């Protein structure tokens, strides 16, 4: 049986083998993840079609693959030890010291798990002697090398600790200045490319305002327990208010919800709000479809699910495409003020920031209020300055008086 790469969507041409979770001959169960394929947007998992074992890995870590390309061979059922010995993987059949015709050394042959462990430990494969068939470097070989390196480091530490330095004297030591050079992941490279494109293509400006969060905070404090009980444990957060305020403002300012397609302006009759989520692999922007028709509880549920799927690397392509407006919340990391970058082909992005108590003047008196700075970056090719300012003020008004959202005023 053959294990093939998944069928990629039209917007994705190829992917890269990121991680093999199994070794040749290792028994797996049905639907167990065998390999991760990293694309420009998401990481796709390839699972076992049945109980059995991978008998041969065809495409190793770092190889670029296309839709339905052969990744490995698979045998259903229990694989005996003799079968494992007689059917080594493609990598195992390559000697460690093999060189190409022009004299350039080929990367040492190693099992996928060994390559992964060596990369994480910062140990070059060329320094490890393989004990497997044909000089194959196994996971145990890497573990031994890691243990040896730790022993050397411990001895050096003990030696340094035993050296007494008199107060007032200077001990000249050569500190380790370690550098690691690793290739960008495809997702990180795509993010970098899109950020540069956004700044080079759009006439991007940012306008700022501040919002008094007293009304929303009092509303949450008063109803959070009842809200959670009424909606099966869903917590009432701030993001749902910002999504609803944005959708109402977008209805009043359709140019902010539009996009530019060459020489055409595309006005969208719906509000699909992208919510920027940070993950271990980089920033992803899942989209809440038809956000204007969702309740606060439904929005909070959707954001929670997207956050969990982003952390697990399980977001699908369709969940991250087609947004008309984006909200980015740098406040969760403590950001007080920033200028968010557009998410092409969208023409505006809203930046939320940290809530901080500050003195403000109200009715001739100085009072302390929980304030948040808002930032709206927009494409000046389509959105005029006065329109952007009025749009942001509209969001501010909705947030400071949440009842306006319900009353549609």
pLDDT given at position 251: 95
CB atoms within 10 A of CB 9: 15
Q: Are 384 and 348 in contact (CB under 8 A)?
A: no
pLDDT given at position 95: 42
**Catalytic site residue from 140, 148, 156, 384:** 384
Which class is domain 188-407?
alpha beta
pLDDT given at position 9: 67
**Catalytic site residue from 212, 380, 397, 408:** 380
pLDDT given at position 381: 94
Secondary structure letter of residue 318 according to DSSP: G
pTM: 0.64
Q: Are 408 and 247 in contact (CB under 8 A)?
A: no
Mode of pairing for the β-strands spanning 287-288 and 264-266 = unpaired
pLDDT given at position 383: 96
- If we measure between CA atoms, which residue out of 283, 279, 285, 406 comes closest to residue 345? 285
CB atoms within 10 A of CB 194: 15
CB atoms within 10 A of CB 154: 10
Catalytic annotation on 380? yes
Q: Are 112 and 60 in contact (CB under 8 A)?
A: yes
Bond prior to 345 in cis (omega within 30° of 0):
yes
pLDDT cut 90: percent of the chain above it = 39
Query: Residue 393 CA to chain centroid, in angstroms?
Result: 31
Q: CA–CA separation, 133 vs 20, rounded Å?
A: 19
**C-alpha pair distances (Å), 289 with each of 231, 271, 323:** 20, 7, 8
**Topology of the domain comprising 2-135:** OB fold (Dihydrolipoamide Acetyltransferase, E2P) (2.40.50)
Whether 2-135 shares its CATH topology with 188-407 is answered no
Residues 6+ apart with CB under 8 A from 171: 163, 165
Q: Which residues pair with 377 in a beta bridge?
A: 206, 349
Q: Which residues pair with 208 in a beta bridge?
A: 375
Kindly give the parts of the chain with pLDDT less than 50. 81, 85-106, 160-161, 165-168, 170-171, 173
Q: CA–CA separation, 111 vs 117, rounded Å?
A: 10
Catalytic annotation on 231? no
Classified as helix, coil or strand, 116 is helix
Domain layout of the chain by residue ranges: 2-135, 188-407
């Amino acid at each position: 049986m053959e294990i093939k790469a998944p069928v990629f969507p039209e917007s994705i041409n190829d992917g890269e083998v990121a991680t093999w979770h199994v070794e040749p001959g290792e028994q797996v169960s049905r639907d167990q993840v065998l390999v991760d394929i990293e694309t420009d947007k998401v990481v796709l998992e390839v699972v076992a079609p049945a109980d059995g074992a991978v008998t041969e890995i065809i495409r190793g870590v770092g190889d670029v693959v296309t839709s339905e390309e052969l990744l490995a061979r698979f045998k259903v059922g229990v694989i005996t030890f003799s079968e494992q010995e007689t059917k080594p993987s493609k990598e195992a059949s390559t000697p460690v010291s093999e060189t190409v015709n022009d004299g350039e050394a080929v990367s040492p042959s190693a099992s996928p798990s060994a390559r992964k462990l060596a990369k994480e430990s910062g140990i070059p494969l060329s320094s490890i002697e393989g004990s497997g068939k044909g000089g194959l470097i196994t996971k145990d070989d890497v573990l031994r090398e890691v243990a040896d390196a730790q022993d050397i480091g411990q001895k050096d530490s003990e030696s340094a600790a035993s050296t007494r330095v008199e107060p007032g004297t200077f001990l000249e030591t050569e500190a380790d200045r370690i550098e690691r050079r690793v290739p960008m992941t495809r997702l990180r490279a795509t993010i970098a490319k899109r950020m540069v494109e956004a700044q080079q293509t759009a006439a991007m400006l940012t306008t700022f305002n501040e919002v008094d969060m007293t009304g929303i905070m009092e509303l949450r404090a008063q109803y959070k327990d009842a809200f959670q009980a009424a909606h099966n444990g869903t917590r009432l957060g701030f993001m749902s208010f910002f999504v609803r305020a944005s959708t109402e403002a977008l209805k009043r300012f359709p140019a902010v919800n539009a996009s530019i397609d060459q020489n055409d302006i595309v006005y969208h009759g719906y509000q699909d709000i992208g919510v920027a989520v940070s993950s271990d692999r980089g920033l992803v922007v899942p989209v809440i479809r038809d956000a204007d028709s969702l309740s606060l509880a439904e929005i909070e549920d959707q954001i929670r699910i997207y956050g969990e799927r982003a952390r697990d690397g399980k977001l699908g392509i369709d969940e991250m495409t087609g947004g008309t407006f984006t909200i980015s919340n740098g406040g969760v990391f403590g950001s007080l003020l920033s200028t968010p970058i557009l998410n092409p082909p969208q023409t505006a992005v809203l930046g939320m920031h940290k809530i901080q108590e500050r003195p403000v003047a109200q009715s001739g008196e100085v009072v302390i209020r929980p304030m948040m700075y808002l930032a709206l970056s927009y494409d000046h090719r389509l959105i005029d300055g006065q329109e952007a300012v009025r749009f942001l003020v509209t969001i501010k008004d909705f947030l400071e008086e949440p009842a306006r959202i319900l009353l549609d005023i």
